[in-house]
Chain A
Amino acid sequence: MADKSKLGFEFPTGYLRVEKNKIAEFAAALSQKDSTNDVKKIYRDEDTARSEGYINIPIPPTFPTGFAFWTAGGLFGIIDKVGADVTKLLHSEEEYEYFAPICAGDMLTAKMKVADMYERGRKERKGRYFEITVLETEVFNEKNELVLRARTTFVER
């Protein structure tokens, strides 16, 4: 059961460098390619990325899903912090707002907090009662500009 005293809890600030090879690896996973040499050129070649108007190789839209896993103690680090039960956990919604492109070489700062916790349904109705937790992450670049806001909603059934 999620621990409601965690509402508003702020995770330690995460710092990460966006790595070129990690982008190619992520792009290969999404496009179901065996080799990073087979991903779209924009995800592996700086010159192609620059010719398309980026300062460096851009990230795929869902790449930021990894930021929390790499900086906040992994999935289990996050789950332990909010007091959730991994055997009952379902990811129900994900949302990204993009304010500026994120590219290879960017040094990012990620601030994640427990933005909301609430229940749906009535406890006595089995299978009809859910506890919902919303994590919000704001990501800033070196100039301290907000480049991304992510909202992750998960449910314990």
Chain B
Amino acid sequence: MNVCYDNIQTGDMMPPYTSLPITRTHLVRYAGASGDFNPLHHDESFAKAIGLETVISHGMFIMGIAGEAITAWIDNKCLRKFSVHFMGMTQPADLDDFENTKGRATITVTGKVVEKFEENGEKRIRCDIIAQDALGSRKLSGYFIASLP
């Protein structure tokens, strides 16, 4: 990657990143990979018992997708801070009604550089990020700080 401090200006956009439509299988794979086995994310009977229509994604899966967006642009080793606030639940796409439900399960991450500064002897940027589905519903907002060459 060739992102360097002198070539970045405040107001620059991070290249947007869009996930595949999230399915229940993606949630199960994330559960196994992360160790987060809250039944809210894979067991319909539990989701219904607590008043939800269906299972919802782990918030951390959406944050992980935001991490994919960031590290497609900035090297992992440049990251200094990554902070998010979760805003909305994400229902997976239904395979028996995929066309009508894929939008709610497709996450696009966008970001904008809001600050350039020096700290701890490093040249750093702060970039605000937002993740939302294809219907415009926001899932998380936050920011990252990266040290750039």
Residue of B nearest to A99 (CB): B80
CB-CB contacts below 8 Å: B27-52 with A: 29-30, 32-38, 49-50
Partner of A61, one of B32, B36, B70: B70
CB within 8 A of B60: which of A65, A74, A87, A89? A65
Q: Which residues of A contact B73 (CB under 8 A)?
A: none
Asked whether any CB of chain A lies closer than 8 Å to the CB of B79, the reply is yes
Q: Which of B7-15, B83-91, B94-102, B110-118 contacts A (4 or more CB under 8 A)?
A: B83-91
**CB of A32 closer than 8 Å to a CB of B:** yes
Chain B interface residue number, banded: 35 or more
Residues of A75-122 whose CB lies within 8 A of B: 75, 86-98, 101
Q: A60-B64, A92-B85, A101-B76 are contacts. A69–B36 as well, Cβ < 8 Å?
A: yes
In the complex, A46 Cα to B34 Cα: how many Å?
22
Whether the Cβ atoms of A75 and B36 lie closer than 8 Å is: yes
| Residues A91 and B60 in contact, CB atoms below 8 Å apart | yes
Contact A61 B60 (CB under 8 A): no
With contacts A62-B67, A94-B63 taken as known, whether A101 is within 8 angstroms of B77 at the C-beta atoms is yes
* A100 to B84 CA separation, bound complex (whole angstroms): 20
Counting contact residues on chain A (CB < 8 A from B), the size range is 35 or more
| Contact between B83 and A94, CB atoms less than 8 A apart | yes
Contact B34 A93 (CB under 8 A): no
* Contact in complex: A96, B82 (CB < 8 Å): yes
- A44 to B38 Cα, complex, angstroms: 28
Q: Quick one: given A74-B37, A87-B50, are A93 and B83 in contact (CB under 8 Å)?
A: yes
A52 to B64, CA, bound (A): 21
| Bound: A43/B85 CA distance, A | 27
Encoded as 1 (CB less than 8 Å from any B CB) or 0, chain A from 1 to 44 comes to: 00000000000000000000010011011111000000000100
A42 to B1, CA, bound (A): 13
The residue that A52 contacts in the complex, of B32, B49, B75, B84, with Cβ under 8 A, is B75
Interface residues of B in 116-141 (CB under 8 A from A): none
A97 to B36, CA, bound (A): 21
In the A-B complex, list the 8 residue pairs whose CB atoms are closest, starting with the nearest. Answer: A69-B35, A29-B33, A95-B83, A61-B67, A30-B64, A26-B33, A29-B30, A62-B64
Residues in A lying within 8 Å of B, measured CB to CB: 22, 25-26, 28-32, 42, 52-54, 58-62, 65-66, 69-70, 74-75, 86-98, 101
4 additional contacts (CB under 8 A) given A29-B26, A59-B76: A29-B32, A31-B68, A32-B19, A65-B64
